Structure 1
Amino acid sequence: MTVRDGAEAGTSGGAELMDGIYRWQRHVYDATRKYYLLGRDRLIDELAPPPGGTVLELGCGTARNLVLAARRHPQARFFGIDISEQMLESARGSIRRAGLEGRVHVAQGDATAFDTEALFGASRFDRVFFSYSLSMIPPWREALMAGAGALAPGGGVHLVDFGMMEAWPGLMRAPFRAWLAAFHVTPRAELGEALAACAAAVGGKASFRRLHGGYAVIGDLKAGVARS
């Protein structure tokens, strides 16, 4: 959940900000986030990449999702991009301990302007996913479009993130949002509409669901089969 473009200060500024936030947090990140980053395992189960397929996560953080996804879908190869070198240090350790260096690869990059051909030798992916990263990327619409643009024909984008908590009492919603803001996290009210717009741009269709009274949202985009 750490790819951030750093719109105000440039990409290097975004990397410095995220490295500052996660320099120490990365050591306890997975243990603490599992209690409130809901829907991640559901997203991983629904990836369903084809045999021999490729999967890209934008905002891979500690590689928790990539390792779990690689175990869940042993027929595919997995790639991850994150702006924070601190988080990638943890990611590489996790991948190494899991014995998945041959199938899971990570690199530093920007969610809105990445060159996966240069980073990984792959330019198109059967699946691209965002797990609680779009709420941390200032130009999140551009990141979502970049992810859709990296799809192979018939590929899909999957996302899970914080929702607007529509069914929650304001006395609970307001403090929780303030706490998220302290970590540079902003739920995106227009995420469903943006996903639909991306689907239209790639000749596909989108679905969008709210979980737990809007605490989280999960979305899917399937690209058309005729991609350039």
Structure 2
Amino acid sequence: MAPGGEAAGLMDRMYRHQRHVYDASRKFYLLGRDELIAGLDPPRGGAVLEIGCGTGRNLIKLARAYPGAACYGLDVSEEMLATARRNAARAGLSGRIRLEQADATDFDAGTLFGRAGFERIVISYALSMIPPWQGVVAQALRTLAPGGSLHIVDFGDQAGLPAPFRAVLNRWLALFHVTPRGELEAVLDGLARAEGAQGRTTRLYRGYAVHAVATRPAD
């Protein structure tokens, strides 16, 4: 069976046409992505993995911001990966960005990329689209190298936003199969402790978005 099975088919159908306008249409409401990238600070010679890399937009920014880092991306959608490969080539970064198709809840970094772990792992607005999202977080934590950190940005609990705005926002997000993970902070804390890591979560824009980081201690 192809990586992702039914999930891959659903994502391919959803993004077969959307992928061509995805970045232009999302830049106004996928908030916090560039701030995450600016604060990532991977060690020189380290490796960065983006889980749910989509069109490659973030990876291209990462590769440009951190020329000393090796950049990797995985996505369950081959349609999105086709766009990511084309975008990386246009940016002249095909040699610095390696892309593979895989299920975010169950992948082997050694088989895919020949690496045991990564110094930085990024998940940007992907957990809200993956029903078994807790498994994605758990897998990411297991794939961190010693001293590495997992960085997540996604829709938040919206606690500080007006109720009418929240209602409209959530109805609109549902059209794209997006479900904000209001319990992310608690889940990340629990999973991080189980892996010997430490998590922290920051709410952005009155809860519109959330930025979460989990750090694994160095050996």
Specify if TM > 0.5. yes
Q: Among 129, 132, 138, which residue is 1:139 paired with? A: 132
Deviation at 1:98, TM superposition (A): 0.9
Report the RMSD for the aligned CA atoms in angstroms: 1.1
Matches of 1:152 and 1:15, distance apart in 2: 27
Name the structure 1 match of 2:30. 37
Q: Is the contact between residue 58 and residue 130 of structure 1 (CA under 8 Å) also seen in structure 2?
A: yes
4+ residue runs over 4 A deviation: none
Matches of 1:200 and 1:190, distance apart in 2: 16
Q: Is the contact between residue 53 and residue 125 of structure 1 (CA under 8 Å) also seen in structure 2?
A: yes
Does the alignment pair 1:51 with 2:44? Answer: yes
Q: Is the contact between residue 19 and residue 86 of structure 1 (CA under 8 Å) also seen in structure 2?
A: yes
Identical-pair percentage? 51
The runs of 5 or more residues in structure 2 that have no matched partner are: none
Matches of 2:61 and 2:31, distance apart in 1: 15
Matches of 2:42 and 2:126, distance apart in 1: 21
Deviation at 1:26, TM superposition (A): 0.4
Q: Is the contact between residue 202 and residue 224 of structure 1 (CA under 8 Å) also seen in structure 2?
A: no
Question: How many correspondences in the alignment?
Answer: 217
Q: Among 76, 83, 93, which residue is 2:86 paired with? A: 93
Does the alignment pair 1:217 with 2:217? Answer: no
Matches of 1:92 and 1:123, distance apart in 2: 23
- Give the 5 Å matches for 1:61-100: 61-100=54-93
Q: Is the contact between residue 4 and residue 102 of structure 2 (CA under 8 Å) also seen in structure 1?
A: no
Q: Among 14, 18, 31, which residue is 1:25 paired with? A: 18
Name the structure 1 match of 2:195. 202
What SS does the corresponding residue of 1:11 show, helix, strand or coil? coil
The runs of 5 or more residues in structure 1 that have no matched partner are: 1-9
Matches of 1:204 and 1:88, distance apart in 2: 31
Q: Is the contact between residue 61 and residue 91 of structure 1 (CA under 8 Å) also seen in structure 2?
A: yes
TM-score by length of 1: 0.93
Q: Among 170, 178, 200, which residue is 1:177 paired with? A: 170
Deviation at 1:117, TM superposition (A): 1.3
Deviation at 1:165, TM superposition (A): 1.0
Deviation at 1:123, TM superposition (A): 2.0
Q: Is the contact between residue 8 and residue 76 of structure 2 (CA under 8 Å) also seen in structure 1?
A: yes
Matches of 1:137 and 1:29, distance apart in 2: 18
Matches of 1:40 and 1:223, distance apart in 2: 22
Matches of 1:196 and 1:130, distance apart in 2: 16
Matches of 1:95 and 1:139, distance apart in 2: 29
Does the alignment pair 1:193 with 2:186? Answer: yes
